[in-house]
Amino acid sequence: MLVNLLKDRFLSDLKELIKKNKKDDGKSGASLDKIFKSIRLEEPKNKEFGDLTTNAAMVLSSYVKKKPMDFAEEVRSGIFSKWKMDESVAIINPGFINFNLKDRAIIENLNQVFIEDKNYGGNNSGAGRKIQIEYVSSNPTGSLHIGHGRWGVLGDVLSAIYVRNGYDVQREYYVNDYGTQAKIFAACAKSLYLKKFGVRFAYPQDGYPETAVSIVAEKLYKDYGDKFITSSSEAITDDIAIEKNAIDIMLAFIRNTLSSIGVEFDNWFVESSLYENNNFEKVIKFLKDNSLVYEQENALWFKSTNYGDDKDRVIIRSDGNPTYFASDIMYLINKKERGFDSLIYILGADHHGYISRLKAIGKSIGMADDAVSIIIGQLVRLVEGKEVLKMSRRKGRGMTLDDLAKDVGKDAIRYFFSMNSFDTHMDFDISLAKKKSSQNPVFYVQYAHARIGSIIRKLKEIKLDNIGEKEINEIENSSAVFCVEVLKNLKSFEFKNNSERNLAWVVSLFPDIVYDACKNNAPYFLTQYLYRLSGEFHYFYNHNIIISRNKANIKRLVLALAAKTVLKNGLGILGISAPEKM
């Protein structure tokens, strides 16, 4: 990581500079650490201001009792003048410090692309930490809607980002097969199933759309025939069996839908398993033994306000039945017992109330304050041209996730769903997603990778004076040997124009993007970066000759190959293909 390592080095040097130049006035190191959290070392919004900029002088001016511009000068002379990798340092009113790195520093960093190859962009910051990410977790009572697809893709990509940062990640789907909704769905399936045999069973008034349930009833009929009918009467041999099979069939459909957009899980955890082997009774005893509950109005309440929640929650109703919150408690305890250091829940837009209650459960059973994270995924609106398309899971009409996957394909779905922050609403433009032009962002990024593939094919088509067949085969087989050898001779490798330097600079930022995307739970950092990298490459490609007659510009070829590696690695994290031809 280039920027984050530079920032760590800068903050360390900055603390030493303060120690040397400031007498102890009673302020603690803890207060200084708090101030340091506001210091940034990052790319400026305007590239003309340099490669990196810092606000350190302004943040620390009151602490060191100096004007920002004066302290900025001390930072320049006391820190940056001693670094061997900065080309120029400028101080801009009211105290920003901007600097450019030497080309050699960027080139040396570029070498890591070829040394690490497929692993480039990864790090071990999360090594030894076990994390579970739960997402989608839709009730198995109908087809998935578009929002489920968005949360599924974001959860899957976030999991891949955590893996790239060295974490031991488990992806989990929580199957709500125990509550009222599952029983209503089973009753709907039972009604339609019996109808096939001329047996009348009333369809629930509050039931799910028949169009959604009919596929389940059809499969029950096809796979089991009249197994559940004891006679020509309306009797069913086993309501529990028909409910279980209906849920299993619906889950299979859900699995297939998610698989079609590349969303897979390591574990499908069923809610009903929480109530097996007297586990519910054991958990209630644990809560009572640890004074985490109290009885009131013939109900059992969890003391969630003691742990930051806005109100206490009912675990067992006055009629003796457990609430959904009881399952939440048992499930979180189960996760802790499985040894996860951190838990991330990705929940739908209507689950804001779950944030405080889930965190309260975690705190009550001894988990760290930051061990339980809840991300709320906002909804999606489908548009096609100027038309807003209808989506309704309960009413059984409009476009489903299956429909969208068939219409625009996996790559477009995954890229578009990863383009925005979890907490922002988004419009999914179907027309744009299907365009084969630079207006479509996923096409734009994939085309950059394919363009570099065309360069490699051209190397094979013509006989070059300065690259042999062996080297061409290495390049074609994605071997880094050729590029590593070229970069060994750093003295002869220099940038001839800004487009070369800018491309190399952005390529070098990839590990920082992967790290920052993890720390901020922000997959969109990656899509924004890949779009930027593609833009830099397209400009570089259009303004520089890489192959002329029978000779290749080796340095520019190496830059293109570095971009290709990063594009492929980045698209791989997103779960999107990196085509060689388009």
How large is the average pLDDT for residues 190-207? Answer: 90
Collect all residues with Cβ–Cβ distance below 8 Å to 425 and sequence separation of at least 6.
378, 379, 380, 381
- Judge whether residue 230 has pLDDT over 80: no
Q: What is the rounded average pLDDT for all residues in the chain?
A: 91
How large is the average pLDDT for residues 361-375? Answer: 95
Backbone angles phi, psi at 191, to 5 degrees: -60, -45
Q: Give the pTM.
A: 0.93
Question: Would 351 be classed as within a structural domain?
Answer: no
Q: 396 falls in which pLDDT band (50, 70, 90)?
A: very low
Instruction: Identify the CA nearest to 514 among candidates 531, 533, 527, 501.
Output: 527
How large is the average pLDDT for residues 171-185? Answer: 93
Question: Would 296 be classed as within a structural domain?
Answer: no
pLDDT of residue 28: 54
- Judge whether residue 67 has pLDDT over 70: yes
Helix (H) or strand (E) holding 397: strand 397-398
Same domain? For 418 and 488 the reply is no
- Judge whether residue 355 has pLDDT over 50: yes
More confident residue, 492 or 44: 44
What residue spans of 349-400 are helical by DSSP H?
Answer: 354-364
Tokens encoding 424: 């922002």
Element counts in the chain: helices (H) and strands (E): 22, 19
CA distance 487 to 494: 10
Tokens encoding 106: 């960027």
CATH number at residue 43: 3.30.1360
- Judge whether residue 237 has pLDDT over 70: no
Q: 435 falls in which pLDDT band (50, 70, 90)?
A: very high
- Judge whether residue 27 has pLDDT over 80: no
Q: 399 falls in which pLDDT band (50, 70, 90)?
A: confident
pLDDT of residue 235: 56
Q: What three-state secondary structure class fits 427?
A: strand
The last residue of one of the domains, among 77, 101, 125, is: 101
CA distance 275 to 282: 10
Strand partners, 344: 133, 373
Tokens encoding 421: 């922050």
Q: Could you check whether the bond before residue 94 is cis, i.e. omega within 30 degrees of 0?
A: yes
Question: Would 371 be classed as within a structural domain?
Answer: no
How many C-alpha atoms does 93 have within 13 Å on its Cβ side? 0
- Judge whether residue 392 has pLDDT over 60: no
Tokens encoding 464: 């070059």
Same domain? For 6 and 91 the reply is yes
Same domain? For 478 and 559 the reply is yes
CA distance 553 to 359: 57
Same domain? For 446 and 560 the reply is yes
CA distance 318 to 245: 31
Chain Cα centroid distance, residue 504: 25
Tokens encoding 359: 């965190």
Tokens encoding 235: 């009797």
More confident residue, 391 or 10: 10
Question: Would 330 be classed as within a structural domain?
Answer: no
Q: 232 falls in which pLDDT band (50, 70, 90)?
A: low
Same domain? For 388 and 251 the reply is yes
pLDDT digits (tens, 9 = 90+) for 121-134: 999 999 999 999 99
Torsion angle defined by CA atoms of residues 357, 362, 364 and 369, in that order, rounded to the nearest 10 degrees: -100
- Judge whether residue 473 has pLDDT over 60: yes
User: How many structural domains is the chain composed of?
Assistant: 3
Same domain? For 399 and 513 the reply is no
CA distance 98 to 57: 11
Same domain? For 416 and 450 the reply is no
Question: Would 400 be classed as within a structural domain?
Answer: yes
Chain Cα centroid distance, residue 480: 29
Torsion angle defined by CA atoms of residues 280, 283, 285 and 290, in that order, rounded to the nearest 10 degrees: -160
Same domain? For 455 and 546 the reply is yes
pLDDT digits (tens, 9 = 90+) for 259-289: 999 999 999 999 999 999 999 999 999 999 9
Q: 468 falls in which pLDDT band (50, 70, 90)?
A: confident
CA distance 449 to 538: 10
- Judge whether residue 19 has pLDDT over 90: no
pLDDT of residue 289: 97
pLDDT of residue 22: 64
- Judge whether residue 393 has pLDDT over 60: no
Neighbour tally for 243: CB within 10 Å: 18
How large is the average pLDDT for residues 98-113? Answer: 89
Instruction: Identify the CA nearest to 503 among candidates 527, 538, 528, 476.
Output: 538
CA distance 457 to 541: 15
CA 378, 427, 149, 222 torsion: positive or negative? positive
Same domain? For 451 and 545 the reply is yes
Quickly tell me which residue has 């530079």 as its tokens.
6
CA distance 20 to 101: 26
Neighbour tally for 518: CB within 10 Å: 22
Question: Would 110 be classed as within a structural domain?
Answer: no
Same domain? For 89 and 58 the reply is yes
Domain that holds residue 452: 441-574
- Judge whether residue 575 has pLDDT over 90: yes
CATH number at residue 518: 1.10.730.10
The last residue of one of the domains, among 390, 406, 434, is: 434
Neighbour tally for 74: CB within 10 Å: 16
CATH number at residue 218: 3.40.50.620
CA distance 220 to 215: 9
Residue 425 one-letter amino acid = H
Question: Would 31 be classed as within a structural domain?
Answer: yes
Directed axis angle between helix 524-543 and helix 441-461, to 10°?
40
pLDDT of residue 256: 96
pLDDT above 70 as % of the chain? 95
Same domain? For 152 and 267 the reply is yes
The last residue of one of the domains, among 391, 416, 434, is: 434
Question: Would 15 be classed as within a structural domain?
Answer: yes
CA distance 367 to 344: 13
Helix (H) or strand (E) holding 350: none
Same domain? For 147 and 260 the reply is yes
Collect all residues with Cβ–Cβ distance below 8 Å to 533 and sequence separation of at least 6.
445, 448, 503, 506, 507, 510, 563, 566, 567, 570
